[in-house]
A = this chain, B = another copy of it.
Amino acid sequence: MYKVKVYVTLRESVLDPQGTAVKGSLHSLSYGEVQDVRIGKYLELTIGKSNRNLDGLVREMCERLLANTVIEDYRYEVEEVVAQ
Residues of A within 8 A of B (CB): 1, 7-9, 19, 22, 25-26, 29, 31, 33-50, 52, 57, 61, 64-66
Contacts of A7 in B (CB 8 A): 42
Known A-B contacts: A29-B64, A35-B48, A37-B44. Give 6 more (CB < 8 A).
Answer: A9-B44, A22-B65, A33-B47, A34-B48, A36-B46, A37-B45
| Contact among B33, B45, B61, B66 with A57 in the assembled complex (CB-CB below 8 Å) | B33
- Copies, count: 2
In Å, the complex CA distance between A31 and B46 comes to 12
Are A22 and B39 in touch, CB under 8 angstroms?
A: no
Are A39 and B46 in touch, CB under 8 angstroms?
A: no
